[in-house]
Chain A
Amino acid sequence: MLHYLFRRLGSLLATLLVASLVVFLVIEVVPGDPASYMLGMNAQADTVAALRSELGLDQSGPARYLQWISGMLQGDFGQSYTYRTPVADMVADRLWISLPLALYALFLSTVLAFPAGIWAASHRGGVADTTVMGFTQLGIAIPNFWFALLLVMFFAVNLGWFSAGGFAGWESGLFAGLKSLTLPAISLALPQAAILTRVMRSSLLDVLGEDFMRTARAKGLSERQALLRHALRNAMIPVLTIMGLQFSFLIAGAIIIENVFFLPGLGRLIFQSIAQRDLIVVESVVMLLVFAVVMVTFVIDLAYAWVDPRLRQQRR
């Protein structure tokens, strides 16, 4: 178990290290000098040079890379070129919207998909199965931002139940905060739920064909008992994989959905920063999101070990 854990942890760190290098190099080759961009067209050469040295842009590439990651490790993401405020503070503010949104969506999609997938699998071939599968086909095909527009059109414009956008702020209460995240979370969750339902169903169907399911029936379990007690846990392995991947989709999706609902999250921040050539912010936010994806992968790996005793031993 420990060995498995250490191996995963090692590969996690390696991925992060290489990812940071890639992000740094990509941003590094950006044409144009942030300092002269910030000071405008008419800036004096010496003013630009002074700013460059203030921002640390006059140092060598490797030195700046080391500075960047050692800073990040200490929670110092540098100074925003545009706002001259610590990037860490900007990101922290936004994170309080993006992270709850992604988790809210993950929760919704899981709550929808698990029962639907199990229900479809246990009635395979029947009306229930066909109906659920039809809905999932549709759910996968609907782009989440379009679904978001439809939700706005219906629940905000026509019914007026929700506001069409913006964020109430956590300080106005948990309920108000969650309410402004509800439509975004639903639009993010729906396509993911559709995918998860399909994976759950097909994974369950695969397991139902296994020999040990026959053993379970032969010992006197009903079809339903056998499914819940023996099939579900085995079927979880591919489902977990997809849930891990989904988190990365949710993060990407959140960037777009935040724009639909004018939510001041990381997604909005990243687009503003691109528009303002505030590359250090772009760099940091991308790195943060990559970190989140990698961490989720790690958590999923741990979940595998919890589900599958074969991984707990030093196999694999």
Chain B
Amino acid sequence: MNAESPLLRMDNVQLSIHQTPILQDISLQVQAGQTLGLIGESGSGKSMTALSIMQLLPRGSRQTGSIRFQGQALEKLPEAELCELRGSDIGMIFQEPMTALNPVKSIGEQVGESIRLHRRLSRDEAQALTLRTLERVGLPNTKFPLNRYPHELSGGQRQRVVIAIAIACQPRLLIADEPTTALDVTTQAGILELLKSLQQDEGLALMLISHDLAVVSNMANDIVVMHKGRIVEQGGLGAVFGSPAHRYTQMLFDASALTQVSHGPAVQTADADVVGVEMAARVSPINSDSRSTPTPTPTPTPTPTSTSTSTSTPTPTPTPTPTSAPASAPASAPAHTSAVSAAPHASTSPLLQVENLICEYPGRRIGLFSHAPAFRAVDRVSFDIQHGESIGLVGESGCGKSTLTRALLGLMHLHDGRIRLNGEEVSAAHVVSRAARQQMQVVFQDPYGSFNPRHRVGRLVSEPLHVLDEPPERKATQRRVASVLESVGLHADDSNKFIHEFSGGQRQRIAIARSLIIEPSLIILDEAVSALDVSVRAQVLQLLDTLAREQGLAYLFISHDLSVVQRVTERVMVMQHGQIVEQGDTAAVFVNPQHPYTRELLAATPRLRIPSS
């Protein structure tokens, strides 16, 4: 093997599992010390490619073609030699840090095991190396002693332990399969930083598998794009991202760009290659679309208008037009951000008023009669939502946004404060107002868990009719179901099918149909597009956009994903530790964040970087 030959080389690899073809004709190379980004949507075969390199394929797999690592044909190696290779020359990390570690073994045992397996070291030497390895991944012994168990660590810390296991023996190749997908954005930034520094300092080759183009664009030298088990395009980062040749890449690229966070001035000045700002400028929030409807002329500066009293006409909320790209640049961005109140409103009363809301979970019982102090999940939250307005709520996991959602929906006891919908108190003295329920609906994140698998779509979609004072007759119900199904782009006769006959994107459409059937004024979208692939996500967002324009709905868009919120909302609230730390016009908040946490969030969000190839 000469110095020029690649570290890893796959040639014409085919894989089938129980006769179902999974991978077709995969040929790729990883150069020593370089980072290869492997991109594709779910089901594209990315993970199976990784597992075939590890030779850890599921039962019933048949693989042909050749996989050469340092010139050795992996598929011909006996299992014992593969075991020596795994964890020693090739390390791998996985998507789910919460479950990737053995819950009954301490982190020291788990990292140390990897070392003792591949290195002949004395107990003390192995322990010293374990300590050093954990230190390398940012878990110093002073704060994270070896006898810690996985459940005592956060998701990001666990992922660091998984990385420590993978790199303990200084492998030549590290395969990272969606290493940050399950993590919050600020945590993700830390992990990516770590991977980058490991790769640079130790000269290991990194195979980074991700659905997120922005992540990959900041890490990779070379790109491989996969679609339905095939490689559709590969080459240098600049070549592939600069001028995508394949239709699929182009589509993926457009869809990603569409949901791309634009940033404040720092981005633009620091790196001219970043196109985030321009990309985002092409996008306009829901309810303020100026492309298809003849609305009043958009002003180039964002104004805090966000009310529409009429429900049928599109709301003329001005936003940057496609031609006014620098609109979100600092110069033109007015500081509408304020930590206190929403946009000024004179005449109309708001649709939803939340005042000083507090929600607590009782503490765990620690004695027969004593409880641990209550956990305050939502802490003195106040905000309004205007009729027809689209407002975002962003925050990382555990910030209280789910609790807030439940409280708004009347699914949770309020410790203090009040929620009014059209002046009607949502839940007073434990009783949830029926009138309030008739005006709001919800779309959840999980396109699989949101429906009773035993009911037909017709019954699922018509369920909210239960809340009406006089639910319609059967015929009328059927008509309404048909009409809402059609309004979300499905067929009326889909109502006789079961939910498992639909794809994820279709299911979210059905969830939206369900929320529309009682013609509510407010729809809460709880991470409604987070589980969808980027291309499907764009379509669903488009649908929401159209529906809002046609029906004058107000949306509360809850998400951990800043790009989605920026794409579709007029105003945004940032939540941390149960409190809303900042709220204001979306454009203003994103361009000129006031609160340090908002700045941190924005800084951590990866941006799509396109090298000027």
B87:A309 contact, CB within 8 angstroms: no
Residues of B near A230 (CB, < 8 A) are: 102, 105
Do A219 and B165 touch (CB < 8 A)? yes
Nearest A residue to B104, CB-CB: A233
By the criterion CB–CB under 8 Å, are A220 and B88 in contact?
yes
Contact of A308 with B by CB under 8 A: yes
B98 to chain A, nearest CB (A): 8
**Which among A3, A211, A313 has the highest number of chain B CB atoms within 10 Å?**
A211
The answer to whether A219 touches B113, judged by C-beta atoms less than 8 angstroms apart, is: yes
Does residue A217 face the partner (Cβ distance < 8 Å to B)? yes
> Once bound together, how far apart are the Cα atoms of A309 and B106, in whole Å?
9
Nearest opposing residue in chain B for A222, CB measure? B83
Q: Does A295 contact B (CB under 8 A)?
A: no
A5 contacts the other chain (CB 8 A) = no
Using known A-B contacts A219-B117, A220-B83, A220-B85, determine if residue A308 contacts B104 with beta carbons closer than 8 Å: yes
Q: Which residue of A lies closest to B89 (CB)?
A: A220
The answer to whether A219 and B87 touch across the interface, beta carbons within 8 angstroms, is yes
Judging by beta carbons under 8 Å apart, are A217 and B86 in contact?
A: yes
Q: Which chain B residues (153-170) contact chain A, with CB distance < 8 Å?
A: 162, 165-166
Question: How far is A220 from B105 in the complex, measured between Cα atoms in Å?
Answer: 17
A296-315 interface code vs B (CB 8 A; 1 in, 0 out)? 00000000000111100111
Of the candidates A10, A222, A313, A314, the one having the most CB atoms from chain B within 10 angstroms of its own CB is A222
The minimal Cβ–Cβ distance linking B85 to chain A, given in whole angstroms, is 7
Considering the complex, give the chain B residue whose CB is closest to the CB of A231.
B102
When distances are taken between beta carbons in the complex, the residues of chain A under 8 Å from B105 are 230, 233
Partner of A211, one of B54, B99, B106, B152: B99
The complex places the Cα of A212 from the Cα of B105 at a distance, in Å, of: 11
Distance in angstroms from B57 CB to nearest chain A CB is 11
Contacts of B151 in A (CB 8 A): 309-310, 313, 315
Contact of B84 among A215, A220, A314, A315 (CB under 8 A): A220
Does B114 reach chain A (CB closer than 8 Å)? Answer: yes
A22 CB, min distance to chain B CBs, angstroms: 23
A212 to chain B, nearest CB (A): 4
> Cβ of A309: which chain B residues have Cβ within 8 Å of it?
103-104, 106, 149, 151
Please indicate the chain A residues that have their CB under 8 angstroms from the CB of B114 in the complex: 219-220
A216 part of interface (Cβ distance < 8 Å): yes
Q: Does B92 contact A (CB under 8 A)?
A: yes
Which residues of chain B have C-beta atoms less than 8 A from A219's C-beta?
A: 86-87, 91, 113-114, 117, 165-166
Q: In the complex, A190→B435 CA distance in Å?
A: 63
Q: Name the distance in Å between B154's Cβ and chain A's nearest Cβ.
A: 15
Interface string of A1-24 (1 = CB under 8 A from B): 001000000100000000000000
Residues of A within 8 A of B92 (CB): 218
Residues of A with C-beta under 8 A to B118: 220
Query: Does B104 lie within 8 Å of A307, measured CB to CB?
Result: yes
Nearest to B106 among chain A residues (CB) is: A309
Checking B56, B85, B104 against A214 with a beta-carbon cut-off of 8 angstroms, the contacting residue is B56
B488 to chain A, nearest CB (A): 35
Known: A218-B92, A310-B151. A212 touches B84 (CB 8 A): no
Cβ contact within 8 Å between A212 and B113: no
Q: With A and B bound together, what is the CA distance between A143 and B104 in angstroms? A: 37
**Inter-chain contacts of A217 with B (CB < 8 A):** 54, 56, 86
Residue A64, interface by CB 8 Å: no
How many A-B contacts if CB must be within 8 Å? Answer: 83
Structural contact, A212 and B101, CB atoms closer than 8 A:
yes
Instruction: Please tell me if A210 contacts chain B, counting CB pairs below 8 Å.
Output: yes
The closest CB in chain B to the CB of A312 belongs to B149
Asked if B79 lies at the interface with its beta carbon under 8 angstroms from chain A, I say yes
Q: Is B366 an interface residue (CB 8 A)?
A: yes
A212, B87: Cβ atoms under 8 Å? no
A212 engages B166 (CB within 8 Å): no
Selected contact of B103 from candidates A3, A125, A216, A234, CB within 8 Å: A234
A307 CA / B105 CA spacing, docked (Å): 10
**What's the Cα separation between A242 and B87 when bound, in Å?**
36
In the assembled complex, the Cα of A219 lies from the Cα of B85 at a distance in Å of: 9
Residues of B within 8 A of A220 (CB): 83-88, 114, 117-118
Is B149 within 8 A of A211, CB to CB? no
Q: Which of B79, B94, B101, B166 contacts A222 (CB 8 A)?
A: B79
Please indicate the chain A residues that have their CB under 8 angstroms from the CB of B86 in the complex: 217-220
Task: Determine the chain B residues whose CB is within 8 A of the CB of A234 once the complex forms.
Answer: 102-104
Q: Is the beta-carbon distance between A215 and B165 smaller than 8 angstroms?
A: yes
B73 within 8 A of A: no
Assembled-state Cα–Cα distance A127/B402 (Å): 50
- On whether the beta carbons of A214 and B94 are closer than 8 Å, the reply is yes
A284 to chain B, nearest CB (A): 31
A211 and B103 contacting across the interface, CB-CB below 8 Å: no
User: In the bound complex, how far is the Cα of B365 from the Cα of A64, in angstroms?
Assistant: 36
What's the nearest-Cβ distance from chain A to residue B41, in Å?
Answer: 21
Asked if A221 is at the interface of the complex by the 8 Å CB criterion, the answer is yes
- Indicate if the CB atoms of A215 and B104 lie closer than 8 Å: no
Q: Mark B555-589, 1 if CB is under 8 A from A, else 0.
A: 00000000000000000000000000000000000
Query: Known contacts being A214-B94, A221-B117, A310-B151, is A3 close to B99, with CB within 8 Å?
Result: no
Q: Is the CB of B88 within 8 A of A215?
A: no
Q: Does B80 contact A (CB under 8 A)?
A: yes
Does B245 touch A at the CB level, under 8 Å? Answer: no
With most chain B CB atoms within 10 A of its CB, the pick from A3, A216, A308 is A216
Q: 1/0 per residue A202-237: CB within 8 Å of B?
A: 000000001110111111111000000110011000
Interface status of B77 (Cβ within 8 A of chain A): no
Contacts of B152 in A (CB 8 A): 313
Contact A212 B79 (CB under 8 A): no
Distance in angstroms from A109 CB to nearest chain B CB is: 24
A303 to chain B, nearest CB (A): 13
Shortest C-beta distance, B184 to chain A (Å), equals: 19
- A215 surroundings in chain B (CB, below 8 A): 94, 100-102, 162, 165
**Contact across chains for A3 and B366 when beta carbons are under 8 A apart:** yes
Closest B residue by C-beta to A207: B102
- Least distance between B216 CB and chain A CB atoms (Å): 22
Q: B59: which A residues are within 8 A, CB to CB?
A: 125
Shortest 3 CB-CB contacts between residues of A and residues of B: A220-B87, A219-B87, A211-B99
- What are 13 A-B pairs with beta-carbon distances under 8 A? A211-B94, A211-B100, A215-B101, A215-B162, A218-B54, A218-B92, A219-B91, A219-B114, A222-B79, A234-B103, A308-B104, A309-B103, A309-B106
A-to-B contact residues, CB < 8 Å: 3, 10, 125, 210-212, 214-222, 229-230, 233-234, 307-310, 313-315
**Given A233-B105, A310-B103; 5 other pairs, CB 8 A cutoff:** A210-B99, A215-B162, A220-B86, A234-B103, A308-B104
